[in-house]
Structure 1
Amino acid sequence: MRAAWTRVWRYREAHPLLLDALVSWLVVTGVVLAARYDYASHGRVFGLPGVLLTAAAILPITLRRRAPVTVLLLCLAGSLASVVAGYWDALNNFGPLLALYTVAVQRSRRVSLAAAALATVVLAAGTTAAELGPLWLLAVLAALVSTTAWAVGDIRRILTERNARLEVLTRELERDREARARRAVTEERMRIATELHDVLAHHMSVIAVQAGLAGYVLESDPPTAAGALGAVADTSRQVLDELRRLFVLLRIGSDPVVPADDSSPAFSLDRIAVLADRVRALGIPVELVVDGVVRALPDSVALCVYRIVQESLTNVVKHAGGAGARVRLAYGDAVFVAQITDEGRKRSVPADSGGHGLVGMRERARLYGGTLTAGPRARGGFEVVLALPISSAGGTHNH
Structure 2
Amino acid sequence: MSVKVNRSVSDQFCLYKMPRLINKVKGKGNGIKAVIVKTVDVAKALNRPPTYPTKYFGCVLGAQTQFDVKNDHYIVSGSHEAKKLQDMLDAFIKKFVLCPECENPETDLHVNPKKQTIGNSCKACGYQGMLDTHPKLCTFILKNPPENNDSGTGKKEKEKKNRKGKDKENGSVSSSETPPPPSPNEISPPPHAVEEEEDEEWGKGTTEEAQRHRMDEISDHAKVLTLSGDLERTVEERVNILFDFVKKKKEEDIIDSSDKEIIAEAERLDVKAMSPLVLIEVLFNEKIREQIKKYRRHFLRFCHNKKAQWHLLHGLECVVVMHQAQLLSMIPHILMEMYDADLLEEEVIISWSEKASKKHISKKLAKEIHVKAEPFIKWLKEAEE
State TM-score, norm by structure 2. 0.17
Of Structure 1 and Structure 2, the greater helix share is in: 1
Higher radius of gyration, 1 or 2:
1
